[in-house]
Structure 1
Amino acid sequence: MDRSSHTRSRRIVPVVAAAAAAVLLVAGCSSSSGGKRAEGSGNGVSAGKASTPRMTVAMITHAAPGDTFWDTIRKGAQAAAAKDNVKLVYSSDPNGPNQSNLVQNAIDQKVDGIAVTLAKPDAMKTVVARAEKAGIPVVGFNTGVQDWKKQGLLEYFGQDEGIAGEAFGRRLDQAGAKHTVCVVMEQGQVALEARCAGVKRTFSGKTDILYVNGTDMPSVKSTITAKLKTDSSIDYVTTLGAPFAMTAIQSIAESGSKARLATFDLNKDAVGAIKAGKIQWAIDQQPYLQGYLSVDSLWLYKTNGNYSGGGEAPVLTGPAFVDKSNVDKIAQFAARGTR
């Protein structure tokens, strides 16, 4: 797999555009059919909903309780499931072995497809192999861009977190930053670690890594506040999720720091904070699209043998920067919880 950051970054927009176009094409065929299958389409879609046999897809993530990022993932997955006549069974656990057990439960239930995140790839390797041995197609999304192919997954939908981090680091340089603290809310989670590592590779200033307990937001707030109070040279705070960015706003205010804030990921509150100038920019990986494509891809594979990337290349959904120059275009979608 080509890991060149320059080559990959140039390909992000075309790949995502192609994926989005495919989604729109299916929707277009169904909406123009007037309640009948579009002539010659053979896609089993009528009046905006698949007439193909009911199938069950299990979506198993590493989401921590209360992390609203995953609500957007689920909305995308639910939209695809509604269109595709799919029963969606969602479950999550941030603990690797527990997530593995959830995958095993899906295998035991003989689901038709599994969409899974690989935040702890070593913990998932054995159970993913069991699913494949049982003849259940497995796709990856959101986390695991370095591991999905090694584990034999059919497809992958998400962003390359290392490349996203590198883009973030370059943006820090452009902003004139000298010292950033990168706040990691789950130590050892491969995607989060890759983001901060990417920042460190390209940012010419100093990068500190600050580990916090992402399941305890008051603790997150106090830890960031303490860091800023003890080091006044920090001029940018880098958070790895929108809810943590909103908490960091409070930490910056309470510490008396003059640091600015930028973040990975987006939600309605973060969009408002970008508009208000409290967040300088966010990297959007399009979680709604990740959830949608994960479910839709399993339906397409089941009903028409399709799979994206030929089993060789991931479908990249990001990174894309959102700042004051384009936030108004995103706001309408964020307001309804789909960005």
Structure 2
Amino acid sequence: MIATVVAATAVTAACTKRTDATDSNSSSSSSGRKLSVVIVSGPLSDPFFGAMKTGADNAGKELDVSTQYLSPTSTDASGPTLAKLMQAAVAKKPDAIVVGNFFPEAQNPEIKAAIKAGIPVVVINSGESNWKQLGALSFVGLEPSLAGDKAGQEMVERGVKKGLCVNSVPGNPALEQTCQGYIDAIKKGGGTASSLRLPYQDSTNPTKVTQAIAGALKSDESIDGVFTTGAAIAKDALTAANNTGRKLTIGSGDLSTQVLKDIQAGKIQYAIDQQPYLQTYYGVLIAKQYVQHRLVPADMVLTGPQVIDKDNAADVLAVNQQDQGIRGAS
């Protein structure tokens, strides 16, 4: 298990000074007005990103920062759309931008443009491999290959010999690395594994996702474990298993209320939690500390992976009932 950052004080404690900021940011931090941070991330139709927005909103309230969350619609969360949202964020001339770099080919130029314009950028969730090269202040999230490795280890420990990783966003390097980490871990454990890449346009259609997974199960009866890169398609994997009469070990990337209930019931065996709430919360925190004090973490900040299984699913559900949406569930 990777050591996880669990308190805001851990972010500021590991900070170092930077001196490459623009004068405009310095004056804004001392002018007395509320600092502004724009967050560019994924669609709110997904509970994962709902938790991100909650993290951003709460950070704004608790840290006295003006935050605005920009996201694509559920039907067009493509690279070009996210690049346009980044342009819109720059046009608002905020004190800082927090962004998920899900499609680097499309988003990298816009992130560089923001930094060139003197706007500090914190990369969250996706972009672990190149945030330093872009010139971002920090990265908050997890190392995807290690998350995949943990997901694969969980399968091996449960006796899986043939695994399948269902990737709902092909082209996102983080998810590709997650699936590869999963495959490598199962192979290391003596089994075999492969990836199923869902067409992007079908990934939010439960019927098509269920049919695709069922098709993979029918074509290879030796598959006994399925890991999905998102919570929504974990439910589809369970439906596909039921429809084909297969008993599978199922793991979910990320959380939803239904996934947590299915873990409690023993229908889904585990979920890998990267705590998206903390990713935006810490992103806003780092941005504020940099603008006001020129402080940044010495390296990236890890928020996962954490394993949620039958032993602790009830605790996570209880938290979500008290503070809805914080654990990435809706």
Q: Normalization by structure 1: what TM-score? A: 0.83
Does 2:179 align with 1:196?
Answer: yes
The aligned amino acid for 1:186 is: V
- Say which SS state the counterpart of residue 87 (structure 1) adopts: strand
Does 2:245 align with 1:256?
Answer: yes
Check whether the contact 1:229–1:257 (CA below 8 A) recurs between aligned residues. no
Say if 1:260 and 1:170 are closer, same or farther in 2 by CA, change over 3 A.
closer
Return the alpha-carbon distance in structure 2 between the equivalents of residues 52 and 307 of structure 1: 22
Which of 283, 288, 302 matches 2:277?
A: 288
Return the alpha-carbon distance in structure 1 between the equivalents of residues 109 and 12 of structure 2: 36
Which of 108, 129, 145 matches 2:91?
A: 108
Q: How many residues align?
A: 298
Gaps of 5+ in 2: 14-30
Does 2:321 align with 1:338?
Answer: no
1:179 Cα deviation after fit: 0.6
Return the alpha-carbon distance in structure 2 between the equivalents of residues 247 and 198 of structure 1: 22
- Say which SS state the counterpart of residue 133 (structure 2) adopts: coil
Residue 164 of structure 1 is matched in structure 2 by 147
- Say which SS state the counterpart of residue 93 (structure 2) adopts: coil
Return the alpha-carbon distance in structure 1 between the equivalents of residues 225 and 312 of structure 2: 21
1:22 Cα deviation after fit: 4.4
Residue 127 of structure 1 is matched in structure 2 by 110
Return the alpha-carbon distance in structure 1 between the equivalents of residues 12 and 266 of structure 2: 34
Return the alpha-carbon distance in structure 2 between the equivalents of residues 241 and 275 of structure 1: 18
Compute the RMSD of aligned alpha carbons.
Answer: 2.0
1:173 Cα deviation after fit: 1.5
Residue 147 of structure 1 is matched in structure 2 by 130
Residue 234 of structure 1 is matched in structure 2 by 223
The aligned amino acid for 1:270 is: V
- Residues 270-279 or 227-236, more deviating: 227-236
Q: Normalization by structure 2: what TM-score? A: 0.85
Residue 17 of structure 2 is matched in structure 1 by none
Identical-residue share of aligned pairs (%) = 35
Say if 1:65 and 1:230 are closer, same or farther in 2 by CA, change over 3 A.
farther
- Say which SS state the counterpart of residue 166 (structure 1) adopts: helix
Check whether the contact 1:59–1:88 (CA below 8 A) recurs between aligned residues. yes
Does 2:63 align with 1:77?
Answer: no
1:24 Cα deviation after fit: 11
Gaps of 5+ in 1: 1-8, 26-50
- Say which SS state the counterpart of residue 215 (structure 1) adopts: coil
1:92 Cα deviation after fit: 2.2
The aligned amino acid for 1:207 is: A
1:107 Cα deviation after fit: 1.4
Provide Cα deviations, 1:2-41, integer angstroms capped at 9, x if missing partner. xxxxxxx55x23xx14x4444899xxxxxxxxxxxxxxxx
Check whether the contact 2:12–2:296 (CA below 8 A) recurs between aligned residues. no
The aligned amino acid for 1:296 is: L
